[in-house]
Amino acid sequence: MLYSIKLNDVLVTSNEAISEEEGKAYVEWVQKKYAGKTLESISLNFDEEDVNIETHLAPEPFEKIRRITGYLVGTVDRFNDGKRAEERDRVKHM
């Protein structure tokens, strides 16, 4: 049977019933381990004396950086007309 509880905006699921205190201890431990990351949920799988903890972290946004006409940029929105034309006319290799 699967048990679930929401603690500190984190969904905790388990294959055994756990107390709220125990669930919070697991959440705090995982948050310390992955400091600076957003924890969405954890899954606890108890197997006698062992516990398998599966973490689900929120995806982190990233910006794609490319080298265009000698500059490292994410977008060309700050380029003037000459640089935009240079980017448009360049040979793209796949």
Q: Are residues 47 and 69 in the same domain?
A: no
Domain, as residue range, for 8: 3-57
Res 94 pLDDT > 80: no
Residue 53 and residue 66 in one domain: no
Query: Which pLDDT value is given to residue 74?
Result: 79
Res 93: pLDDT: 78
| Beta-strand pair 10-14/39-47 | parallel
- Inside any domain, residue 46: yes
Do 52 and 67 sit in the same domain of this protein? no
pLDDT in tens, 47-82: 988 999 999 999 988 888 877 777 788 777 888 888
User: Residue 15 above 80 pLDDT?
Assistant: yes
The rounded distance, in Å, linking the Cα atoms of 3 and 17 is 6
Q: What is the mean pLDDT of the chain?
A: 87
Q: How far apart are the first and last CA of the chain?
A: 51
